[in-house]
Structure 1
Amino acid sequence: MSGPLKNARRERFCQEITSGASAAEAYRRAYGSNGDTAKVNGSRLLTFADVNGRLSELRAPVARQARVTVQSLLDELRLTIEAARKAEQHGVVVSSLTLAAKLTGLLTERLEVSARGPLQHLTTEAEVLEDLVTQHGGDAAGIARELRELADRVERYRKPILIEVTPNIWKWPRT
């Protein structure tokens, strides 16, 4: 598949999804339908082959760009580490390795979530979602981004981190 869908409403639906709208909201915007109809049909549209193909097509450049950006940073860090080792700048080596580990997901910062404060009164999913919408001024893309970041953090937390260690690779300066 290449290019926009022949069905203009399905194309608009895909554009709305890639901009961060939920399936129900994208359906409302593309088809002008409300309520349960938008929820059901928006979900149903996501199962269609042409819609899935177009969504993949629309998301591919963004994913490719993100990979290139991370990869280019890692390449630059690799050069920095090599130069710092030659110059015996061990602090630069350590901070560069730490940054590389963060970029690749090997090292994550600890995140603590507490029920105290403004979230304490939220007891249902609907209340949490309403609070998110209020905080972001209805910006669906901002909400979606925040939820994806949270989901990524949860996924990284669940997975055990294994690091291979090769003995005798460090050359310590002799005194």
Structure 2
Amino acid sequence: MEQIKIIFFALSSFFGIEDGRIAADKTTVTVFPENKEIEIIQEKLFTVIQSEKDNTLVLEQWDKLYYWKERKTSWSKELDSFPMKNFNLTPIKNKIQPNLTLTYSNEKDLRKMGIWYNTEKNQFSINHIPQHNIKTKDGKLIGNYWVFNGDRTFSFTVEPFLQMPENYQKFKQPLRELLTENKKE
């Protein structure tokens, strides 16, 4: 079984942007099996800025994301099997909250996200990775896997940056702050 994909918490990975520099402290993933839909909501976007080059790169990446429709920014190849894709950036209380909705044709498509489906047991599962700080009220931790009922909507949160190394923490900057400084809001 594959690990939960970085696509969940690295915003630019939805669009296949190389060397993505925008990430989310918290990501909520909800799977709606009855609609064959998955929703990914990212919170507390941040970046790590160590140089002026990093600053420029992040602003360029943000531009590609913010104007993704106008610039015809292409989706990541990993998302090719998802027939419908929708991406919105919602401003909520002075924060930017990306919301991605995907529909899938077959439960096997979710493997690309690190979500597995067991047909015999009618269960979805994801790897339990302690460093990702996965939380859910809908699943059960069985061994090294979070297991979810295949008949019901389920969700989980991922917070992989809670134990970010100290040498990176000093360079961590909220995205909103960077955009304000550079008049990109």
What is the TM-score normalised by the length of structure 2?
0.25
**Higher relative contact order (CA closer than 8 Å, sequence separation 6+):** 2
Larger Rg belongs to: 1
What is the TM-score normalised by the length of structure 1?
0.26
Higher strand share: 2
